[in-house]
Amino acid sequence: MASTTTKPDNGAAAMIFAVFSVVCFVAFLSLRGSDLGKLGSLVGNLGGGPMFGVGIIDSLAGGLAAFLVLLAWFGTGTFISRFIKLPQAEGHSHVLELVRAIAIGAGAWSLVWFFLGLAGQYSRPAAAACVIAGVFMTALGLRRVREARTESRVPESAGLFDKFLLLLIAVPVLLALISAAAPPIAKDTLLYHFSVPKAYIAQGSNAYIQGNIASYLSLGTEMHVVWARLLGSVYSERAGEIAGSVVIWTFFPLLLAAVFGWAREAGISRRYALIAVLMVASIPTAYHVASSGYIDVSLALFVTLAIYSLSRWWRQPSALEAICVAIFLGAALGIKLTTVFVIAAFALIMLLRARNAGDSGKLIASGFGALILAGAIASPWYLRTWAATGSPVFPFYMSIWPGKADGWDVERSNLFQAMNSQYGGADVDKTRYLTAPFLVSVAAQPEEPENYDGVLGVAFLIGLPILLFALWKLDLPLEAKIAAGVAGVMFLFWVFSSAQLRYLLPIAPSLAIAIAAAAAASGRQIRAVAQYALTAAAFFAILTTAAWFCQKAPLRVALGGQERDAYLAAHLDYFPLYDWINKNTPPDSRVWLINMRRDTYNIDRPVFSDYLFEDWTFRKLIWESQDKNELLSKITAMGVRFVLTRHDFLLDPERTTIFDEKRPVSENDAKLRLAKQFLLDKDCVNKVDAKFSLIMVEPHGCGNGSGDAVRSKTSN
């Protein structure tokens, strides 16, 4: 290893690094005009009416339900941990031990709720029984809670700057909690993170949901949403909704605690451990995920703990260390199929460890045995899907491993893969593979696939040169090297697959720890610049988070001052139509949603909606029909009573998906006219505006009188 004389401790290096940091700040801020640039005006969104109301009781009840689930995780994880008695590492962190126990419990309860779903036992009594069992085990593990009061066996006093870091860390965590208490408005949450658990509860089981292909996915985190919603709904449905969202938010502070504990156990000082935590906490997309019911933060927790367990296995290979790797990897694989890339990275690290060992065969057996066990832990999800569709990885890669289910086919699977490849923009500009570290840090934007659909911030970009130099010249802790190695391999997988920013979150904690270790190991002047540069980068990212928070303006609805429906109407332009359908149509009225933002959560009627490619069936019927009467008869045969469509781009000749490039212009124009005749026919329309049309489909055609009573109340 290099001696300390190789540390970059001269003023010129520090000055270059400071200038580089300033350039990063300027580049980042120059592209934040749509959110951070409007922060001053966006703050006004937080007002506009009373702040408090009776709805705050729903928030408190939902928060209590989520806390009971957390207690059950801890109690169960503590109980299981008694059978996995690992030796304490030097500088052992009780914070990390506590988080590991909670995560083990969360993984175990996820499987319990999977099997409860198979047994058709999604009910409030089952939820209460599980909480009672978990809290009972919590009472048995109170001794561990008392031990966890001490952060580390090597306590350090917290200076003023350390307290400032803690304050910065608390800001995005608190903002995410408030946002989590607001009604969900994020796309994938409305499509499946919340809509699937809601449907599961309604049917009492985890049977597949017709038309929602996401119900075939592994839904490890969503199992906790089911549990929490059932508990919270004892008080009210709104409390149940809040409980489901808050229980997902819980993974955010748990992840940050894991980063801190691992950094301290790796020998990193309190200050740089806090800087590592701040780097993760300040990622605007981490706030978005934690507050929106998305699952990527929970995935990040399990992946981070798996990498930590891998570093312990590297130091002292044993069956118990391998089991810990398997538990956390298995829990991650039960959340998302992309964990297979993590497993591939682990396999490379394990082979590297075995290459230099005296008994390589034994090490390979131990390491790869852990990977196989991880697959076994997650296997119930994939075996279930395999049995139902013929492919364990359905709905993905159907051209490689065919599967079958209503509403999905090879063509759509391939289109889905092509759609995912658009993230990052490398599909049209290959140079973006090389510039990805810079672009994802500086140019990333939400709702823009070519720009990674999120915001990371420049803290990781600023820390990257320090990390690369330290890996080359300095003696970093083993944990930092393994964390950096896994993060590097995972980044390559990410760049060349679906470069969506939230898919990068699972490696951010490990990379933050490696950067903090590298900064702490550098010379005095570099350390001084690094701590302030990384803190400033995090501060600017937190301001971006604050702007997003103000755009959503969830404070009043979380505190009860704003009604749920009013909040949704302010953020979802189609919600008034959903609300009308819920209140004015017969309960058995089947509604066809076309291009309605994939929201099957807010409508309380039987729904038909194509998964992801939302006008797929409509386009197919248009091309199969000669005129409006034939089209109407086909739709009537589907059992559809109402059709709700976002028509502004569907009927726009410049943007429509109805056109077939292989057909003549005249045929395409005729099919577009047919679509307009059906969707905008004044004799059928209940509601229509520049974006949306709601029509009633009647057995013998539109305008025959049977729907007049409904239309007379609602037509615009």
Angstrom distance (rounded) from CA 582 to CA 471: 59
Q: What three-state secondary structure class fits 617?
A: helix
- Identify the pLDDT of residue 417: 87
Confidence check: pLDDT of 60 > 80: yes
pLDDT at 154: 53
| Reported confidence tier of residue 143, pLDDT bands at 50, 70, 90 | low
Cβ contacts of 54 within 8 Å, gap of 6 or more: 560
Closest CA to 675 of 707, 635, 703, 647: 647
Q: What residues form DSSP beta bridges with 696?
A: 642
pLDDT in tens, 326-348: 999 999 999 999 999 999 999 99
Average pLDDT over residues 432-442: 93
- How many CA atoms, within 13 angstroms, populate the side-chain half-sphere of residue 439? 21
Provide the mean pLDDT of the chain: 90
Strand order in the sheet with 692-696: 607-608, 591-594, 642-646, 692-696, 685-688
Instruction: In whole angstroms, give the CA distance from residue 64 to residue 228.
Output: 10
Taking 90 as the threshold, does the pLDDT of residue 698 lie above it? no
Q: At residue 708, does pLDDT exceed 80?
A: no
pLDDT of residue 147: 52
Mean pLDDT of 634-639: 90
CA angle 539, 543, 547 (to 5 degrees): 170
What digits encode the pLDDT tens for the residues 581-598? 999 999 999 999 999 988
Residues with Cβ within 8 Å of residue 498, at least 6 apart in sequence: 420, 421, 423
This prediction's pTM? 0.94
Distance between CA 329 and CA 305 in Å, rounded?
Answer: 9
Q: Reply yes or no on whether the pLDDT at 2 is more than 50.
A: no
Q: Residue 332 and residue 314: Cα distance in Å, rounded?
A: 20
Return the pLDDT at 712: 38
Looking at residue 1, its pLDDT comes to 38
Q: How far apart are CA 565 and CA 584, in angstroms?
A: 16
Q: How would residue 4 be classed by pLDDT, with cut points 50, 70 and 90?
A: very low
**DSSP per-residue codes, 255-292:** HHHHHHHHHHHTT--HHHHHHHHHHHHT-HHHHHHHHH
Q: Out of 88-97, 542-551, 571-580, 707-716, pick the least confident.
A: 707-716
DSSP assigned state of 209: P
- Residue 694 forms beta bridges with which residues? 644, 687
∠ CA 420-422-428, rounded to 5°: 150
Q: How far apart are CA 459 and CA 536, in angstroms?
A: 8
**How confident is the model at residue 5, as a pLDDT?**
44
Task: Return the pLDDT at 144.
Answer: 56
Q: What's the Rg (C-alpha) of the chain?
A: 27
Average pLDDT score over residue span 226-247: 97
What per-residue confidence (pLDDT) applies to 146? 58
- Percent of the chain whose predicted confidence (pLDDT) is above 90: 74
Reduced to 3 states (helix: H, G, I; strand: E, B; else coil), residue 692 is strand
Mean pLDDT value across residues 360-371: 89
* Distances, alpha carbon 317 to alpha carbons 26, 178, 310, 668, in Å: 46, 43, 9, 65
Q: What is the mean pLDDT of residues 205-227?
A: 94
- What is the pLDDT averaged over residues 423-428? 86
Tell me the C-alpha distance between 644 and 659, whole Å. 20
Confidence (pLDDT) at 711: 45
Q: Rounded to an integer, what distance in angstroms lies between the CA atom of residue 674 and that of residue 629?
A: 10
Distances (CA, A) of 155 to 207, 264, 450, 701: 51, 10, 46, 77
Tokens of 97: 């031990």
The reported pLDDT for the residue numbered 716 is 42
| Residue pLDDT, tens place only, 484-523 | 999 999 999 999 988 999 999 999 999 999 999 999 998 8
The whole-number pLDDT of residue 118 equals 96
Contacts by 677-681 with C-beta closer than 8 Å and gap 24+?
677/628, 678/628, 678/631, 678/632, 679/643, 679/645, 679/647, 679/650, 679/651, 680/647, 680/651, 681/628
